[in-house]
Structure 1
Amino acid sequence: MRKKPELLAPAGNMEKLKMAVLYGADAVYLGGKAFGLRALGGNFSLTELKEAVDFAHSHRCRVYVTVNIFPHNSDMEKLPEYLRYLNSIHVDALLVADLGVFMMCRNLIPEMELHISTQANNTNWAAVNAWKALGAKRVVLAREMSLEEIREIRTRCDVDLEMFIHGAMCISYSGRCLLSNYFTGRDSNRGSCAQSCRWKYALVEETRPGQYFPIAEDEQGTYIMNSKDMCLMPYLRDVIESGVDSLKIEGRMKSVHYAASVVKAYRMAIDSYFEDPDHFLVRQEWLDELEKVSHRTYTTGFYYHRPSEKDQIYSRTSYDQTSDFVGLVRAYDEKTGWAVIEQRNHIKEGQEIEVFRPSGPSYRQQIDGMLDMDGFPIHAAPHPQQMFRMKMSYPVTPYTILRRDKEPGSA
């Protein structure tokens, strides 16, 4: 029987971590306040890192911490102390990209499991085997790889392999980019990418400074480096049967709604495959779930073909989604059926909502009554993160998401 691959989810902050864990992740990856590549993703203080590890481990979920910047000399002074701290709180593995950081980890905390980040641009079996020889437990494959290349690496390498299956694609090579540095002074290879590839660009002719010419005729401009998002859900059989050990979702800077919905969709799909591999089919409900969260149009990236102009979005930089996240269950009284809800978007009486639970099927209900926290009737909860009570049609648990269908034409 084929080994079930790990489902690895992003955790940009504590709330996203809890959602990823509760909605079905086997492991989460996250960063501290330094030494990772998502400085703007919220991230975790030293105290929060320990809390995150304790919470995840209490739910049998592993925690991998990113230490995958390409450091300069000034970054190295405080790194040893940080590495020892991560070891002391029982982090399960560290993600590294730089050889110097890797060797520092090997020398200071030799018992720590080390994973080689996609930033290291691992695109061939020789590189993968070299990292294994140095002591790496796992290698994260570059996104710029085909299914056939991944299969060949699997046959030639006896080391854990991890690959991305969902989320944003990078216009540069596995995140190695200097656009952000050039335009804003923020070093993308040290955690401060400004995502300059998503900006709107125009042409300027040198003898006519200040005159901007559109690169293509479009009323909104042209986003020449704006890649579609990766989604391999429709091809999950090929992904699983390629033999990789960990399936990774991108998105530490994405929303709580994204963390919960994408994780649960892939959790259900992976489990369904292993219940009956011979008759596995990707269900429309899983694909629909991935449309409900904020995303760019989906593509398969490099998995089946070299990306072309069809894998870019030239007309806009906005996102699509079919549902709005309107509330989060904070508490539930089984005797009365009333839940305490934290507002996340305008919500009011009469609306039909979908109740999306960490486990079990979703259900729909109409909001027939709402109370403020003092017990007085209200007709709407318009204020950000306003707390209120409402009656639930069926039992829920904390961290259940309430969402409503997005109205056609709404932003």
Structure 2
Amino acid sequence: MIENKPEVLAPAGTMEKLKVAIDYGADAVYIGGDAYGLRSRAGNFSFEEMAEGATYAHAHHAKVYVAANIVAHEGNLEGAGAYFREVRDNGIDAVIVSDPSLIEIAITQAPGLAVHLSTQASATNWETLNFWKDEGLERIVLAREVGLAEIKEIRKHTDIQIEAFVHGAMCIGYSGRCVLSNHMGLRDANRGGCAQNCRWRYDLFEMPTLGEKQTTLGKNQDGEIEDFSMSAVDMSMIEHIPELIDAGVNSLKIEGRMKTVHYVSTVANVYHKAVADYCADPVNYQMDPELVDELWKVAQREMSTGFYFGTPTEDDELFGPRRQQPHYKFIGQVLSYDRDQQIVTVQQRNNFGIGDKIEFYGPNFTHYRQTVTDLTDEWHHDIQRAPHAMQTVHFHCPYPVHPGDFIRAKEVKANVKVTN
């Protein structure tokens, strides 16, 4: 048994996602405040919401960190000291910062507030980690470009906490420092305004000295010209949890503050189970293939291991036909369950109805599958389908599900090969 179990750290773009992430196994969550963060379009938290979130987390033996990782320009530092003191006083466990000036302000003007170095700071060697430890930081979020062998070497030379991304989107810019959005859309990616330009689709041309421009792009299987993007696939290290833990990683970070509750609950659930299973019996641990299947039930791009085992290749870029595609949709959340009548009350999130094959899932990796055989609306009138967002419906369910459990349904799309 491994006693120092690493933390599963999940994203929380809203209060609902914060509570769901913790309910589904996250040991900590990271959120954004109203200032100094890199996700201006996420559901960022007010000070009052921070206090509510911290209270909920601490009641469930979890922690809350606030991202304040912008690259500060002139004028951005005004009020930072007061901001960090408010964050501290509302029960937040740490702030995640990249700019040295904001780090200095947090340490000197908000004593008692732990500071973690953001991945935006590109920490890639043990000398850098020890420098920041000497400055008073508690944890380093490694650059995404650090490989597993490098992490092992880093751990030999420092005892500061190490946090590493293990799942989610990967930025095409080195440690997220990109100016495409600034150049093409006048939106500063390093101050919360990323326009996701790398995800756009482009034509790529060769420009000869004379004559017409010639496309340099290939053709797909239908003979159509393929467009081009600079978009990376997503990261997934679910099959390498033992290597990460044995290398000395203290916190396993999931990307996705903009993602849905379906995504947050599923991914937190999966990584929580993998970590718990390995730490309980590391000698006999074998990864359950169902964990990978579970990850493919939420919307995401294709997946790779990023830089952990070498430099990514063209196979780690989104170009050409998709090799695999998610095939489930999120359809609702359990509000209550009547054990005597075996009736579940559900808040609908996507259209579903009689005849649909559905799957309930809950914390600790519980699953139950059934076909919907009956359906009534909020007033117990018989209906065939539930087409209205957030409507309350009821139907027969022999299995005792629980409030907070989620429901998904398999969705087969035309012209898409679905694999299980």
TM-score, length-normalised on structure 2?
Answer: 0.93
Are the equivalent residues in 2 in contact too, given 1:97–1:118 (CA < 8 A)? yes
How do 1:12-411 residues align onto structure 2 when only pairs under 5 Å count?
12-203=13-204, 205=207, 213=215, 215-218=217-220, 219=224, 221-315=226-320, 320-359=325-364, 361-409=366-414
Shift of 1:51: 1.7
- Equivalent position SS for 1:16: helix
- Equivalent position SS for 1:409: coil
Residues 258-294 of structure 1: CA distance to partner in whole angstroms, max 9, x if unpaired?
Answer: 1011111111111111121111111111111111111
- Equivalent position SS for 1:251: coil
Distance 2:99 2:39 in 1: 16
Structure 1 residues 198 and 375, CA, compared in 2 at 3 Å: closer, same or farther? same
Shift of 1:207: 7.8
Residues 207-252 of structure 1: CA distance to partner in whole angstroms, max 9, x if unpaired?
Answer: 8999784633343633331111111111111111111111111111
Q: Which moved more, 1:270-279 or 1:396-405?
A: 396-405
Q: Which moved more, 1:392-401 or 1:94-103?
A: 392-401
Shift of 1:78: 3.0
- AA of the residue aligned to 1:295: Q
- AA of the residue aligned to 1:145: V
Distance 1:88 1:316 in 2: 50
Identity across the alignment (%)? 41
Distance 2:120 2:345 in 1: 42
Shift of 1:325: 0.8
Q: Which moved more, 1:368-377 or 1:204-213?
A: 204-213
Residues 359-402 of structure 1: CA distance to partner in whole angstroms, max 9, x if unpaired?
Answer: 35201111122111112111110112222122322222222111
CA RMSD in angstroms comes to 2.1
Distance 2:291 2:197 in 1: 32
Are the equivalent residues in 1 in contact too, given 2:270–2:365 (CA < 8 A)? no
Residues 333-368 of structure 1: CA distance to partner in whole angstroms, max 9, x if unpaired?
Answer: 344332321211110011111111123520111112
- AA of the residue aligned to 1:107: T
Are the equivalent residues in 1 in contact too, given 2:337–2:401 (CA < 8 A)? yes
Structure 1 residues 380 and 179, CA, compared in 2 at 3 Å: closer, same or farther? same
Distance 1:203 1:276 in 2: 51
Structure 1 residues 175 and 25, CA, compared in 2 at 3 Å: closer, same or farther? same
Shift of 1:309: 1.1
Q: Which moved more, 1:327-336 or 1:17-26?
A: 327-336
Distance 1:209 1:49 in 2: 61
* Unmatched tracts of structure 2, length 5 or more: none
- Equivalent position SS for 2:112: coil
Distance 1:305 1:95 in 2: 27
Structure 1 residues 355 and 86, CA, compared in 2 at 3 Å: closer, same or farther? same
Structure 1 residues 220 and 324, CA, compared in 2 at 3 Å: closer, same or farther? farther
Distance 2:15 2:218 in 1: 42
Q: Which moved more, 1:104-113 or 1:1-10?
A: 1-10
- Equivalent position SS for 1:63: strand
Shift of 1:410: 6.9
Structure 1 residues 217 and 274, CA, compared in 2 at 3 Å: closer, same or farther? same
- Equivalent position SS for 1:28: strand
Q: Which moved more, 1:47-56 or 1:289-298?
A: 47-56
Structure 1 residues 213 and 272, CA, compared in 2 at 3 Å: closer, same or farther? same
TM-score, length-normalised on structure 1?
Answer: 0.95
Are the equivalent residues in 2 in contact too, given 1:26–1:62 (CA < 8 A)? yes
- Equivalent position SS for 1:265: helix
Structure 1 residues 212 and 32, CA, compared in 2 at 3 Å: closer, same or farther? farther
Distance 1:51 1:90 in 2: 9
Q: Report the count of equivalent residues.
A: 411
* Unmatched tracts of structure 1, length 5 or more: none
Distance 1:88 1:210 in 2: 64
Distance 2:136 2:162 in 1: 14
Are the equivalent residues in 2 in contact too, given 1:214–1:222 (CA < 8 A)? no
Residues 100-136 of structure 1: CA distance to partner in whole angstroms, max 9, x if unpaired?
Answer: 0000001111111110000000001111100000000
- AA of the residue aligned to 2:277: S
Are the equivalent residues in 2 in contact too, given 1:223–1:316 (CA < 8 A)? no
- Equivalent position SS for 2:376: strand
Distance 1:122 1:23 in 2: 30
Structure 1 residues 68 and 143, CA, compared in 2 at 3 Å: closer, same or farther? same
